[in-house]
Structure 1
Protein backbone atom coordinates (compact mmCIF):
# COMPACT_ATOMS: atom_id res chain seq x y z
CA UNK A 1 0.00 0.00 0.00
CA UNK A 2 1.89 3.09 -1.18
CA UNK A 3 1.65 6.21 0.93
CA UNK A 4 2.88 9.76 0.63
CA UNK A 5 3.61 10.15 4.33
CA UNK A 6 6.73 11.99 5.34
CA UNK A 7 8.57 13.89 8.04
CA UNK A 8 10.88 16.66 6.83
CA UNK A 9 12.95 19.43 8.32
CA UNK A 10 14.24 22.28 6.17
CA UNK A 11 17.13 24.36 7.49
CA UNK A 12 18.10 27.75 6.13
CA UNK A 13 21.25 29.50 7.19
CA UNK A 14 24.72 30.67 6.42
CA UNK A 15 27.02 27.90 5.17
CA UNK A 16 30.67 27.87 6.16
CA UNK A 17 33.26 25.80 4.30
CA UNK A 18 35.33 23.52 6.50
CA UNK A 19 39.09 23.41 6.23
CA UNK A 20 40.51 20.22 4.71
CA UNK A 21 41.56 19.09 8.22
CA UNK A 22 38.08 19.68 9.69
CA UNK A 23 36.48 17.99 6.70
CA UNK A 24 38.65 14.91 7.21
CA UNK A 25 37.70 14.82 10.91
CA UNK A 26 33.98 15.00 10.06
CA UNK A 27 34.34 12.25 7.45
CA UNK A 28 36.22 10.12 9.97
CA UNK A 29 33.42 10.51 12.55
CA UNK A 30 30.84 9.67 9.89
CA UNK A 31 32.67 6.51 8.83
CA UNK A 32 33.17 5.45 12.46
CA UNK A 33 29.46 5.98 13.16
CA UNK A 34 28.33 3.70 10.34
CA UNK A 35 31.14 1.15 10.57
CA UNK A 36 31.08 0.51 14.34
CA UNK A 37 28.14 -1.93 14.19
CA UNK A 38 29.70 -4.06 11.45
CA UNK A 39 31.46 -7.35 12.26
CA UNK A 40 34.75 -5.99 10.91
CA UNK A 41 34.54 -2.19 11.14
CA UNK A 42 37.02 -0.18 9.10
CA UNK A 43 38.49 3.11 10.13
CA UNK A 44 39.47 5.82 7.71
CA UNK A 45 42.94 5.99 9.20
CA UNK A 46 43.24 2.48 10.64
CA UNK A 47 46.48 1.84 8.75
CA UNK A 48 49.04 4.03 7.00
CA UNK A 49 47.60 2.89 3.66
CA UNK A 50 44.06 3.76 4.83
CA UNK A 51 45.26 7.16 6.01
CA UNK A 52 46.81 7.98 2.63
CA UNK A 53 43.66 6.82 0.86
CA UNK A 54 41.42 8.86 3.20
CA UNK A 55 43.43 12.01 2.62
CA UNK A 56 43.35 11.45 -1.14
CA UNK A 57 39.58 10.90 -1.40
CA UNK A 58 38.68 13.59 1.13
CA UNK A 59 40.21 16.16 -1.21
CA UNK A 60 37.32 15.38 -3.56
CA UNK A 61 34.73 16.37 -0.95
CA UNK A 62 33.63 19.70 0.46
CA UNK A 63 32.69 19.91 4.12
CA UNK A 64 30.09 22.47 5.14
CA UNK A 65 28.93 23.72 8.52
CA UNK A 66 25.51 25.33 8.57
CA UNK A 67 24.43 27.69 11.32
CA UNK A 68 20.63 27.62 11.06
CA UNK A 69 18.75 30.91 10.96
CA UNK A 70 15.39 29.31 10.15
CA UNK A 71 13.97 25.84 10.85
CA UNK A 72 10.75 24.59 9.27
CA UNK A 73 9.45 21.15 10.26
CA UNK A 74 6.61 19.44 8.39
CA UNK A 75 4.89 16.10 8.52
CA UNK A 76 2.10 14.39 6.69
CA UNK A 77 0.79 11.24 8.31
CA UNK A 78 -2.49 10.54 6.50
CA UNK A 79 -4.27 12.82 8.98
CA UNK A 80 -7.08 13.36 6.45
CA UNK A 81 -7.75 9.64 5.92
CA UNK A 82 -10.42 7.48 7.58
CA UNK A 83 -9.25 5.21 10.41
CA UNK A 84 -9.59 1.99 8.38
CA UNK A 85 -7.23 3.34 5.69
CA UNK A 86 -4.75 4.61 8.30
CA UNK A 87 -4.83 1.20 10.01
CA UNK A 88 -4.17 -0.51 6.67
CA UNK A 89 -1.22 1.78 5.93
CA UNK A 90 0.23 1.19 9.40
CA UNK A 91 -0.20 -2.56 8.95
CA UNK A 92 1.86 -2.44 5.75
CA UNK A 93 4.52 -0.24 7.34
CA UNK A 94 4.83 -2.71 10.22
CA UNK A 95 4.98 -5.81 8.04
CA UNK A 96 7.75 -7.32 5.96
CA UNK A 97 6.61 -6.03 2.57
CA UNK A 98 8.71 -3.70 0.41
CA UNK A 99 6.75 -0.86 2.05
CA UNK A 100 7.85 -1.75 5.58
CA UNK A 101 9.23 1.21 7.52
CA UNK A 102 9.35 0.86 11.32
CA UNK A 103 10.44 4.49 11.82
CA UNK A 104 7.58 5.87 9.73
CA UNK A 105 5.18 3.52 11.52
CA UNK A 106 6.25 4.91 14.91
CA UNK A 107 5.64 8.47 13.72
CA UNK A 108 2.23 7.58 12.32
CA UNK A 109 1.26 5.84 15.55
CA UNK A 110 2.16 8.93 17.58
CA UNK A 111 0.09 11.21 15.36
CA UNK A 112 -2.92 8.93 15.13
CA UNK A 113 -2.91 7.92 18.82
CA UNK A 114 -3.13 11.64 19.69
CA UNK A 115 -5.78 12.24 17.04
CA UNK A 116 -7.94 9.35 18.25
CA UNK A 117 -7.55 10.35 21.90
CA UNK A 118 -8.72 13.88 21.10
CA UNK A 119 -12.06 12.69 19.67
Structure 2
Protein backbone atom coordinates (compact mmCIF):
# COMPACT_ATOMS: atom_id res chain seq x y z
CA UNK A 1 0.00 0.00 0.00
CA UNK A 2 1.06 3.60 -0.47
CA UNK A 3 2.21 5.18 2.78
CA UNK A 4 3.03 8.86 3.09
CA UNK A 5 6.35 9.54 4.82
CA UNK A 6 4.57 11.22 7.77
CA UNK A 7 2.33 8.19 8.30
CA UNK A 8 4.89 5.37 8.26
CA UNK A 9 4.59 3.15 11.32
CA UNK A 10 7.83 1.37 12.17
CA UNK A 11 7.64 0.69 15.93
CA UNK A 12 7.68 -3.11 15.99
CA UNK A 13 6.15 -3.49 19.44
CA UNK A 14 3.26 -1.13 18.60
CA UNK A 15 2.61 -2.85 15.28
CA UNK A 16 2.61 -6.27 16.96
CA UNK A 17 0.14 -5.03 19.60
CA UNK A 18 -2.05 -3.60 16.84
CA UNK A 19 -2.09 -6.95 15.00
CA UNK A 20 -3.05 -8.80 18.18
CA UNK A 21 -5.82 -6.31 18.95
CA UNK A 22 -7.20 -6.35 15.39
CA UNK A 23 -6.50 -10.00 14.59
CA UNK A 24 -9.62 -10.61 12.49
CA UNK A 25 -7.97 -9.78 9.18
CA UNK A 26 -8.16 -10.33 5.42
CA UNK A 27 -6.09 -13.02 3.70
CA UNK A 28 -5.38 -12.14 0.06
CA UNK A 29 -3.99 -14.52 -2.56
CA UNK A 30 -4.80 -15.43 -6.15
CA UNK A 31 -7.13 -17.97 -7.70
CA UNK A 32 -6.94 -18.36 -11.48
CA UNK A 33 -4.93 -15.13 -11.66
CA UNK A 34 -7.63 -13.16 -9.84
CA UNK A 35 -7.35 -11.70 -6.32
CA UNK A 36 -9.24 -13.69 -3.69
CA UNK A 37 -9.85 -12.56 -0.13
CA UNK A 38 -11.05 -14.40 2.97
CA UNK A 39 -11.76 -12.83 6.38
CA UNK A 40 -10.12 -14.86 9.15
CA UNK A 41 -8.84 -14.64 12.73
CA UNK A 42 -5.06 -14.94 13.03
CA UNK A 43 -2.62 -15.67 15.84
CA UNK A 44 0.68 -13.76 15.87
CA UNK A 45 3.35 -16.14 17.12
CA UNK A 46 6.85 -17.52 16.59
CA UNK A 47 7.78 -20.82 14.96
CA UNK A 48 10.37 -23.27 16.26
CA UNK A 49 13.09 -21.31 14.45
CA UNK A 50 12.13 -18.11 16.26
CA UNK A 51 10.69 -16.45 13.16
CA UNK A 52 7.57 -14.30 13.40
CA UNK A 53 4.52 -16.05 11.95
CA UNK A 54 0.79 -15.70 11.56
CA UNK A 55 -1.17 -18.91 12.02
CA UNK A 56 -4.68 -19.45 10.72
CA UNK A 57 -7.08 -21.96 9.25
CA UNK A 58 -9.54 -21.99 6.40
CA UNK A 59 -12.54 -24.14 5.50
CA UNK A 60 -11.96 -26.85 2.92
CA UNK A 61 -15.16 -25.63 1.26
CA UNK A 62 -13.31 -22.38 0.47
CA UNK A 63 -11.33 -22.84 -2.78
CA UNK A 64 -8.64 -20.42 -1.61
CA UNK A 65 -6.87 -23.14 0.37
CA UNK A 66 -6.11 -25.08 -2.83
CA UNK A 67 -3.87 -22.22 -3.93
CA UNK A 68 -2.03 -21.94 -0.62
CA UNK A 69 0.96 -23.97 -1.72
CA UNK A 70 4.08 -24.04 0.44
CA UNK A 71 6.24 -20.92 -0.07
CA UNK A 72 3.49 -19.03 -1.91
CA UNK A 73 3.53 -15.34 -1.01
CA UNK A 74 0.31 -13.95 0.44
CA UNK A 75 -0.90 -10.68 1.93
CA UNK A 76 -2.78 -10.26 5.20
CA UNK A 77 -4.48 -6.92 5.88
CA UNK A 78 -5.19 -5.74 9.43
CA UNK A 79 -7.38 -2.68 9.93
CA UNK A 80 -8.03 -0.66 13.05
CA UNK A 81 -10.24 2.33 13.84
CA UNK A 82 -10.91 4.80 11.02
CA UNK A 83 -12.96 7.96 10.69
CA UNK A 84 -14.12 10.61 8.25
CA UNK A 85 -12.50 13.99 8.92
CA UNK A 86 -14.80 16.85 7.94
CA UNK A 87 -13.30 19.96 6.37
CA UNK A 88 -15.56 21.99 8.68
CA UNK A 89 -13.27 21.06 11.57
CA UNK A 90 -10.37 23.20 10.32
CA UNK A 91 -9.84 26.92 10.93
CA UNK A 92 -9.06 27.34 7.23
CA UNK A 93 -10.39 26.11 3.91
CA UNK A 94 -9.47 22.50 3.27
CA UNK A 95 -10.79 19.26 1.82
CA UNK A 96 -12.27 16.42 3.89
CA UNK A 97 -10.18 13.28 4.36
CA UNK A 98 -10.10 9.96 6.18
CA UNK A 99 -7.87 8.97 9.12
CA UNK A 100 -7.07 5.34 9.81
CA UNK A 101 -4.64 2.71 11.09
CA UNK A 102 -3.73 -0.30 8.94
CA UNK A 103 -1.00 -2.91 8.67
CA UNK A 104 -0.17 -5.05 5.64
CA UNK A 105 1.79 -8.24 6.28
CA UNK A 106 3.48 -10.23 3.52
CA UNK A 107 4.76 -13.74 4.03
CA UNK A 108 5.34 -17.26 2.76
CA UNK A 109 2.78 -19.97 3.38
CA UNK A 110 3.40 -23.32 5.06
CA UNK A 111 0.48 -25.75 5.38
CA UNK A 112 0.13 -27.37 8.80
CA UNK A 113 -1.76 -30.39 10.08
CA UNK A 114 -1.81 -32.81 13.01
CA UNK A 115 -0.36 -31.44 16.23
CA UNK A 116 0.66 -28.15 14.61
CA UNK A 117 -2.91 -27.47 13.54
CA UNK A 118 -4.29 -28.50 16.93
CA UNK A 119 -1.80 -26.20 18.66
CA UNK A 120 -3.01 -23.30 16.52
CA UNK A 121 -6.68 -24.04 17.26
CA UNK A 122 -6.04 -24.30 21.01
CA UNK A 123 -4.19 -20.98 21.06
CA UNK A 124 -6.87 -19.25 19.00
CA UNK A 125 -9.73 -20.42 21.21
CA UNK A 126 -7.83 -19.64 24.41
CA UNK A 127 -7.12 -16.07 23.24
CA UNK A 128 -10.76 -15.28 22.55
CA UNK A 129 -12.23 -17.17 25.48
CA UNK A 130 -9.97 -15.32 27.93
CA UNK A 131 -12.04 -13.40 30.47
CA UNK A 132 -15.37 -14.75 29.25
CA UNK A 133 -17.90 -16.41 31.56
CA UNK A 134 -18.43 -20.14 30.99
CA UNK A 135 -15.07 -20.32 29.23
CA UNK A 136 -14.51 -23.25 26.88
CA UNK A 137 -11.37 -24.73 25.32
CA UNK A 138 -10.50 -27.26 22.66
CA UNK A 139 -9.25 -29.55 25.42
CA UNK A 140 -12.69 -29.66 27.07
CA UNK A 141 -14.44 -30.69 23.85
CA UNK A 142 -14.91 -34.37 23.05
CA UNK A 143 -12.10 -35.92 21.03
CA UNK A 144 -14.43 -37.35 18.39
CA UNK A 145 -16.21 -34.03 17.90
CA UNK A 146 -12.97 -32.09 17.50
CA UNK A 147 -11.56 -34.68 15.08
CA UNK A 148 -14.68 -34.40 12.93
CA UNK A 149 -14.50 -30.60 12.84
CA UNK A 150 -10.77 -30.54 12.05
CA UNK A 151 -11.37 -32.69 8.96
CA UNK A 152 -13.20 -29.72 7.44
CA UNK A 153 -10.26 -27.36 7.98
CA UNK A 154 -6.91 -26.61 6.40
CA UNK A 155 -4.33 -25.04 8.70
CA UNK A 156 -1.47 -22.82 7.65
CA UNK A 157 1.34 -20.65 8.93
CA UNK A 158 2.64 -17.54 7.23
CA UNK A 159 6.32 -16.81 7.83
CA UNK A 160 6.40 -13.01 7.87
CA UNK A 161 8.76 -11.41 5.36
CA UNK A 162 7.53 -7.79 5.21
CA UNK A 163 5.39 -5.54 7.39
CA UNK A 164 4.04 -2.16 6.23
CA UNK A 165 2.19 -0.03 8.75
CA UNK A 166 0.29 3.21 8.17
CA UNK A 167 -1.02 5.55 10.86
CA UNK A 168 -2.79 8.46 9.17
CA UNK A 169 -3.66 10.62 12.17
CA UNK A 170 -3.50 14.20 10.90
CA UNK A 171 0.23 14.37 11.62
CA UNK A 172 0.45 17.24 9.11
CA UNK A 173 -1.88 19.49 11.12
CA UNK A 174 -0.83 22.14 13.61
CA UNK A 175 -1.75 21.87 17.27
CA UNK A 176 -4.95 23.94 17.03
CA UNK A 177 -6.42 22.03 14.10
CA UNK A 178 -5.27 18.68 15.49
CA UNK A 179 -7.12 19.42 18.73
CA UNK A 180 -10.21 20.53 16.81
CA UNK A 181 -10.28 17.23 14.95
CA UNK A 182 -9.86 15.24 18.16
CA UNK A 183 -12.61 17.23 19.91
CA UNK A 184 -15.10 16.62 17.09
CA UNK A 185 -14.26 12.92 16.94
CA UNK A 186 -14.70 12.58 20.71
CA UNK A 187 -18.12 14.26 20.48
CA UNK A 188 -19.22 11.95 17.67
CA UNK A 189 -21.92 9.31 18.19
CA UNK A 190 -19.84 6.75 16.28
CA UNK A 191 -17.69 4.44 18.47
CA UNK A 192 -14.93 4.19 15.85
CA UNK A 193 -14.62 7.99 15.80
CA UNK A 194 -14.00 8.02 19.55
CA UNK A 195 -11.47 5.22 19.23
CA UNK A 196 -9.66 7.08 16.46
CA UNK A 197 -9.60 10.23 18.61
CA UNK A 198 -7.79 8.32 21.34
CA UNK A 199 -5.19 7.12 18.83
CA UNK A 200 -4.67 10.71 17.72
CA UNK A 201 -4.18 11.83 21.31
CA UNK A 202 -1.59 9.11 21.91
CA UNK A 203 0.23 10.18 18.76
CA UNK A 204 0.71 13.75 19.99
CA UNK A 205 2.55 15.00 23.08
CA UNK A 206 2.13 18.72 22.35
CA UNK A 207 -1.14 19.10 24.21
CA UNK A 208 -2.99 17.54 27.15
CA UNK A 209 -6.61 16.94 28.00
CA UNK A 210 -8.22 20.17 29.05
TM-score by length of 1: 0.71
1:86 equivalent among 157, 162, 182:
182
Report Cα offsets for 1:60-89 as digits up to 9, x if no partner: 222221112211111112335623133211
Q: Please identify which structure carries the higher helix content.
A: 1
Structure 1 unaligned residues grouped into runs of 5+: none
Number of residues of Structure 1 aligned to a counterpart in Structure 2: 108
Which structure shows the bigger proportion of residues in strand conformation?
2
Contact 1:45–1:54, Cα closer than 8 Å, also in 2? no
Quote the Cα distance in structure 2 between the aligned partners of 1:33 and 1:17.
Answer: 22
Out of 35-44 and 56-65, give the one that drifted further: 56-65
How far apart are the structure 2 equivalents of 1:32 and 1:65?
18
Question: Normalised by the size of structure 2, how large is the TM-score?
Answer: 0.44
User: Are 2:122 and 1:28 equivalent residues in the alignment?
Assistant: yes
- State the 4+ residue runs in structure 1 displaced beyond 6 angstroms: none
Gaps of 5+ in 2: 1-82, 85-97
Q: Alpha carbons of 1:27 and 1:105: their partners in 2 closer, same or farther (altered >3 Å)? A: farther
Return the structure number with greater relative CO, CA threshold 8 A, min gap 6: 1
State the superposition RMSD in angstroms. 2.4
Q: Aligned partners of 1:53 and 1:103: how far apart in 2? A: 40
* Matching of residues 38-49 of structure 1 within 5 Å: 38-48=132-142
